[in-house]
Amino acid sequence: MPKLTVVVPAYNESDVLAIFHERLFGVLDKLSLQCNVLYVDDGSRDDTWSVIQSLAAADARVGALKLSRNFGKEVALTAGLDHVDADAAVVIDADLQDPPELIPELVAQWQAGYDVVYATRSARAGETGFKRFTAAAFYRTMELMSDVPVPRDTGDFRLLSRRALKALAQLRERQRFMKGLFAWIGYRQTSVHYMRDPRKAGQTKWNYWRLAQFAIEGITSFSSAPLRLATWTGMVTSVVAFLLGLKVLIKALLHGDPVPGYPSLMVAVLFLGGIQLLALGVIGEYLGRNYAETKQRPLYFIEEEQLPGQPAKGPDA
Ligand code: UDP
Ligand code: MG
């Protein structure tokens, strides 16, 4: 029987894990696949790890990974996927915003021959208008700027075939924009639509500051368009400045040069100063990620692990 592993990153999710676990296995038990679940504790501060451990102790199909600190969802996911040995893996959030009931549909598309099956949200229930607007703006910008089309309104909830997993495992960049990485590997990709539910319990870890960081990360990881934009802006302003200079010169030659024009001079100086700082910032953004990549640090450390059907590796293993 083909093997399927479900990878669940969890950070401070002790409130919801038990409900999630039950709903997940309600779905998995109906599949004619050999199913495992791998929970990744991303350095939670609450008792998420003890909940995961008790789930793993109760069921041999449940695995548990504990990262050495909070690395963020992207890295937690990567750690989980690195430890998957199955014909396909499903990535799903622990907060029940991604309905486990969709997994059979993802599996059906996989069995129909697709390598990456992603879930696309048809509605964002329980999210504010502003959040919806910013999300939409983000996806549009990504579409305009990015070299690889990142599917719109998709989270990380998706299924990956064995070869897609193998491909993804080779992308070891430190700043990981997962949606982009999933799209970048290529192969046969398709989507399944669903309605996204509000969080069942606990708090979202995203605030607008983090979302803005995430957006900058998404754009700078997959596109050098901002650099090109800085070049173009520079060129256009230089041409305009040149023409303006010509006009000033001719005017001075024809009419002499009393001293008006201080306000327009200030405007031009400030405007150019602003553009220069912006362009420097853009360059700095790329330089910064270059620095992070060249350090070649490992993506994560594992503190404890208990893979499905294998002996546990304790804190000092
Ligand atoms: N998560 C994680 N590490 C983090 C933040 C979040 O592993 O540093 C997990 C979290 O437990 C959940 C999933 O990533 O399973 C999505 O997190 P959240 O619900 O906060 O994000 P959103 O649904 O708003 O995108
Ligand atoms: Mg969520």
Give Cα 282 distance to the centre of its chain: 20
Q: What is the pLDDT of residue 123?
A: 60
Q: Name the nearest CA neighbour of 222 among 185, 188, 184.
A: 184
pLDDT in tens, the chain (317 residues): 889 999 999 999 888 898 999 999 999 988 888 899 999 999 999 999 999 989 988 888 999 999 999 998 999 999 999 999 899 999 999 988 888 999 999 999 999 999 999 888 776 656 677 777 877 777 777 777 777 777 777 778 899 999 999 999 999 888 788 888 888 888 999 888 887 666 666 666 667 787 777 777 777 777 777 877 887 887 788 788 778 878 877 887 888 766 677 667 777 787 788 778 778 878 887 888 888 888 888 899 998 888 887 777 766 55
**Shortest-distance atom of ligand 1 to CA 199:** 19
Using the atom order of ligand 1, give the atom closest to the CA of residue 70. 8
Rounded Cα gap, residues 289 and 91, in angstroms: 26
- CA distances 117 to 5, 11, 154, 193, Å, are 15, 25, 11, 11
CB 63, CB 36: distance < 8 Å: yes
Question: Does the beta carbon of 93 sit less than 6 angstroms from any atom of ligand 1?
Answer: yes
Distance CA 239, CA 62 (A): 64
| Strand bridging mode 189-196 / 116-124 | parallel
Provide the ipTM.
0.91
Quote the CA–CA distance of 178 and 309 in Å, as a whole number.
28
Q: Is 94 in the pocket of ligand 1 (CB under 6 A)?
A: yes
What ligand is nearest to the CA atom of residue 92?
Answer: 1
Nearest CA to ligand 1 atom 18: 204
For ligand 1, pick from 205, 210, 214, 299 the residue to mutate: most ligand atoms within 8 Å of CB.
205
| Direct distance between the N- and C-terminal alpha carbons of the chain, in angstroms, rounded to an integer | 32
Q: Which of 117, 97, 72 is nearest to 20 (CA)?
A: 97
Number of the ligand 1 atom closest to the C-alpha atom of 94? 15
- Taking the C-alpha atoms of residue 120 and residue 131, their distance in angstroms, rounded to an integer, is 17
Residue with CA closest to ligand 1 atom 22 = 204
Phi and psi at residue 304, to the nearest 5°:
-140, 145
Q: Which atom of ligand 1 is nearest to the CA of 72?
A: 8
Substitution site in 67, 69, 93, 134 for ligand 1 pocket (most atoms within 8 Å of beta carbon): 93
CB atoms within 10 A of CB 242: 10
| Ligand 1 atom index nearest CA of 13 | 11
Residue nearest to atom 1 of ligand 1 (CA): 73
What is the reported pLDDT for 1?
A: 86
Say what the pLDDT of residue 240 is.
83
3-state secondary structure of 230: helix
CATH 3.90.550.10 assigned to domain 3-206+298-306? The reply is yes
Domain ranges of the chain: 3-206+298-306, 224-295
CA–CA distance, 103 with 108 (Å, rounded to integer): 9
- The length of the chain, given as a count of residues: 317
The answer to whether the CB of 5 falls within 8 A of the CB of 39 is no
Name the pTM for this structure: 0.73
- Residue at token pair 């070049």: 231
Calculate the dihedral angle through the C-alpha atoms of 92, 97, 100, 106, rounding to the nearest 10 degrees. -70
